[in-house]
Structure 1
Amino acid sequence: MFSLLMKEKLYLNEVVFGTAFGIIIGPHAGNIFDPRSWNPSTGSQSITLEVMRIVLATGLFAIGIELPKNYMWKHAKSLSAMVIPTMAAGWLIVGGILEALFPNLTFVSCLAIAACLTPTDPIICAAIVGGKFAVKHVPVNLRRILLAESAANDGLAYPFLSISIYLTVESSKRVAFGKWFLVGWLYQVILGVVLGIVMGLLFSYLIQLSKRRGFIDRESYVAQYIAMSFFTIGIAHTIGSDDLLAAFAAGSAMSWDGHFNEQTEGEVFASVIDLVLNCACFIYIGAWLPFEDFNIPSLGIVPWKLLVLFISTAFLRRILPMMLLYKWIPEIGSWREALFCGHFGPMGVGAVFISTLALTELPTPHNPPQNQEELLALCIQPVVAFVVLGSIIIRSYYLHLFICTRNRATLRETSKQTFNFLQ
């Protein structure tokens, strides 16, 4: 009932609303909604995994659909420079920070946690750069490249996680690297992308054929939007490939010639579905957050270390690589825009999904843990959850103030509107 007022005056979005409401009704406040109690034997990991998978896949498919036609081909060079070296540098930087703060974890275990914090979350990204404030103040080239980057690097988090997990659970490094290349890259990433492209192009051809023959109306296009995203991740997950990259590739392939965008232009149903899924997802995350696990001294997890980790991650994970690489990215025209892109790296649904996926690959831990694998299983979600909570709180509001600094008049106007509203 107050969403428009909050968005227009305080520049907050459904990400913050949903998370706050989830915390209020969750087990640490109202105790009305407790997702961790649904399946006590596994800590509700399977339910959390599938909820995050559906929301992520739908969001990634939507980003692929909404990008201009041939966008991925035209901007492949820029995306390659933004995604691969930035992710790799951020992965190593966060791994080093974790090793310094948590000496009981090996560097490989730290890299496994860092893999969860490496990708930019596409759901928060879409919610922020797709808002009216960002549309007004952020250049369209930056908004599009950030959306495309967030979608691509979320799916590419698999290889970073898989090499860390293989090195942790496998006794031989040769076996670990062999599985990483064959399974992590060839089967999951490359097959996932190829599968998504083939399905997207095939579906685009079929839907255009149906349109020419009068078999489908305008309203059904939007229904196919949702059905195709679910169908893609279903096929990809069944064969064990990267379902997130498959969803993004399928969305990009479907909009390759611009036909699907033309037919759905002006339709709001898909946006409503995205909004409902996003709100439900962040309510779930708010109730899921393990506040009691943010202080486990026996594992080396204490609040001040988590706070230092969050601040260090926010300032070091992306800014330095982006400042070094922006001259090779035509969409970024100045160091200020590079600083903005480097700062912009929210963590949310993707981090929760990757950390939950990691737990499915690790042994069930004892308390106290018996080995490094069990220690990693106990530490990964409390650490990731704290950083996600901080990212949701800070990124979703501070981003708008950061944008305002590009224009002093806009900053004064925004501050005045916010002050008047609070009064």
Structure 2
Amino acid sequence: MFSLLMKERFYINEVVLGTAFGVVLGPHVAGILDPRSWGEKEEIITLEVTRVVLAAGLFAIGVELPRSYMAKHVRGLLIMVVPTMAIGWFIVAGLICELFPHLTFLSCLATAACLTPTDPIICAAIVGGSFAKKHVPSELRHILSAESAANDGLAFPFLTISLYLILDPTPHQAFSHWILIGWFYQVVMGVTIGAVLGFVFSHIMSFSHRHGFIDRESYVAQYLALAIFTTGIVSTIGSDDLLAVFAAGSAISWNGEFNKHTEDEVFSSVVDLIFNCACFVYIGAWLPFTSFNAPSLGITPWRLSALFLGILVLRRVPAILALYPWIPEIKTWREALFSGHFGTMGIGAVFISSLALHKLPKPHDVPVGEAEILASSLQPIVSFVVLGSIIIHGLSIPFLTLRGGVDLQIPSSASFLIEANPDRSPTSTVTPQLAREMPV
């Protein structure tokens, strides 16, 4: 009832509000919703709820990117995703290793893998809001959205190598499984299946539309149907469903026809909003506040707080500041700092940690062995960082508006260049070198 007021006046999105409402409904306040009281079913429900919401969000990002975006921006996207994730993975693992000495380095790598991906749902709520549309260049918003979608699926190899080294009897067998299963079977096959399904559905719907076999309402309904269909097929065979659904969304809108037929429809936005709100209410009730203080596992509030602060400063910002000269979409150090700060962690981290628990043995009351200690420590650490990210990143925009805001758009001093050639966009008129030299 007050959503427009909260979004347009105070710039507080549904992520923060949904999580807060979930905490209120949860076992520590009202006691109305308590997912952790559902026993063994809770892990499966959490895994599948986050899977479906991520699938819808990733498909939406793929569909809403500009025509043939992945082909035109593959260089910047690869540089922004792969090195940044790898650097952040090792940095976070090092922080965890220093703060939680009961965990081995392999367990720290597995925990860090859950915190490596940027959450696409929180990112979409931030870069798709009215503040970002006014102050952040569209090129930067698109690359942040594409990166948040791509690196969610690419978190699988980071997690699987850690788990294989922990669970497999020999390193040789672990690396063999990682290459054959983690990369070829999960990543490569997932992307291939998703892209093929997207292209096939795109041609079928174009054919049906040209011959009048499908109405507008049914055309828009394919938005959700294809996302669920792709997720179901790929997850059933055990491949990377997150990359698959993003590939399907990118493929179905490759020629821009799908966007043209659905651009005036609000159905997809309504579905995304319902899914996102429901999921963050669930996460708010699911958060294990009592596990944030478990001295027997070496988990204490001050260690968790120190970890989150270290992640906030070191996980992405140094890497992107170092790499941005090779990322054409990021033109100034301020844009690089903005991109590094908004490395949100949310539903994606919860999903990856739930997937890891699904592969790890169920721990005893007193964990025995490396795998059981990891299974007991994983979600308290991940969920605390997720809660901190929701608060800090979700409230960063309201804080910026109180401080007078930040404007990353091309400054007015470049307007004479645009006016001299109005048929060209600002990014095509102003060279990257000139844009970097201009004061922001």
Shorter-chain TM-score bucket reads: over 0.9
Q: 1:44 is paired with a residue of what secondary structure? A: helix
Partner of 1:2: 2
- Taking the TM superposition and a 5 Å limit, the aligned residue runs for 1:381-396 are 381-396=379-394
**Partner residue, 1:16:** 16
Residue 308 of structure 1 is matched in structure 2 by: 306
**Alpha-carbon distance, 1:401 to partner:** 3.6
Look up the match of 1:215: 213
- Residue in 1 aligned with 2:396? 398
What is the aligned-residue identity percentage?
A: 63
Q: Contact conserved, 2:164 with 2:177, CA < 8 A, in 1?
A: yes
**Corresponding residue for residue 48 of structure 1:** 46
Cα deviation for residue 43 of structure 1 reads: 5.7
Aligned-partner Cα distance in 2 for 1:187–1:97: 31
Give the aligned partner of residue 86 of structure 2: 88
Question: What is aligned with 1:418?
Answer: none
Contact 1:133–1:400 under 8 Å retained in 2: no
3-state SS of paired residue (1:167): helix
Structure 2 distance, partners of 1:285, 1:383, is 15
Give 1:363 deviation, angstroms: 0.4
- Any idea what the Cα deviations from partners look like across 1:83-128, whole Å, max 9, x if unmatched? 0000000000000000000111011100000001000000000011
Supply the distance in 1 between the matched residues of 2:245 and 2:334 (Cα, whole angstroms).
Answer: 32
Q: How does 1:19-418 map to 2 (within 5 A)?
A: 19-38=19-38, 40=39, 42=40, 44-402=42-400, 405-407=405-407
Which amino acid is 2:158 matched to?
A: F
AA partner of residue 206 (structure 2): Q
Answer yes or no: is the 8 Å Cα contact 1:55–1:278 preserved in 2. yes
Q: Is the 8 A contact 2:144 2:339 kept in 1?
A: yes
Whichever residue aligns with residue 34 of structure 1, its letter is D
The alpha carbon displacement at 1:8 in A equals 2.0
**1:391 alignment partner, SS class:** helix
Q: Matched residue pairs, number?
A: 406
Residues 292, 299 of structure 2: 8 Å contact kept: yes
Q: CA deviation at 1:6?
A: 1.4
| Code of the aligned partner of 1:31 | G
TM-score by length of 1: 0.95
Asked if structure 1 preserves the Cα contact closer than 8 Å seen for 2:67 and 2:256, the reply is yes
Letter in 2 for 1:249: A
- Deviation string for 1:181-202 (max 9, x for gaps)? 0000000000000000000000
- Contact 2:10-2:398 within 8 A present in 1 as well: no
Letter in 1 for 2:35: P
1:275-314 CA-to-partner distances (Å, cap 9, x unmatched) read: 0000000000000000000000000000000000001001
What's the C-alpha RMSD, in Å, of the aligned pairs? 1.1
Verify the 8 A CA contact 1:154 1:350 in the aligned structure 2: yes
Q: Which amino acid is the alignment partner of residue 391 of structure 1?
A: S
Report SS of the residue matched to 2:162. helix
Q: What is the rounded CA distance, in whole Å, between the counterparts of 2:157 and 2:19 in structure 1? A: 29
State the distance in 2 between where 1:160 and 1:407 align: 35
After superposition, the C-alpha distances for 1:366-404 in whole angstroms (9 at most, x for unaligned) are 121110100000000000000000000110111454585
| Contact 2:317–2:341 under 8 Å retained in 1 | yes
Residue 250 of structure 1 aligns with an amino acid whose one-letter code is A
Mapped partners of 2:54, 2:301: distance in 1: 29
Distance in 1, Cα, partners of 2:41 & 2:337:
39
| Distance (Å, rounded) in 1 between the aligned partners of 2:111 and 2:405 | 33
Conserved? CA contact 1:37–1:43, under 8 Å = no
Bigger mean CA deviation after superposition, 215-224 or 306-315: 215-224
The one-letter amino acid of 2:393's match is: R
CA distance in 1, matches of 2:104, 2:400: 36
Unaligned runs of 5+ residues in structure 1 are 409-423
After TM superposition, which residue ranges in structure 1, 4 or more long, deviate above 4 angstroms? 402-405
**What SS does the aligned partner of 2:395 have?**
helix
Q: What is the Cα deviation at residue 9 of structure 1?
A: 2.3
CA distance, structure 2, for counterparts of residue 192 and residue 314 of structure 1: 31
The answer as to whether partners of 1:64 and 1:251 remain within 8 angstroms in 2 is yes
Question: 1:307 is aligned with what amino acid?
Answer: S
Query: Separation in 1 of the partners of 2:283 and 2:148?
Result: 20
Task: Report deviation, 1:406.
Answer: 3.0
State TM-score, norm by structure 2.
Answer: 0.91
Task: Report the residue type matching 1:360 in the other structure.
Answer: H
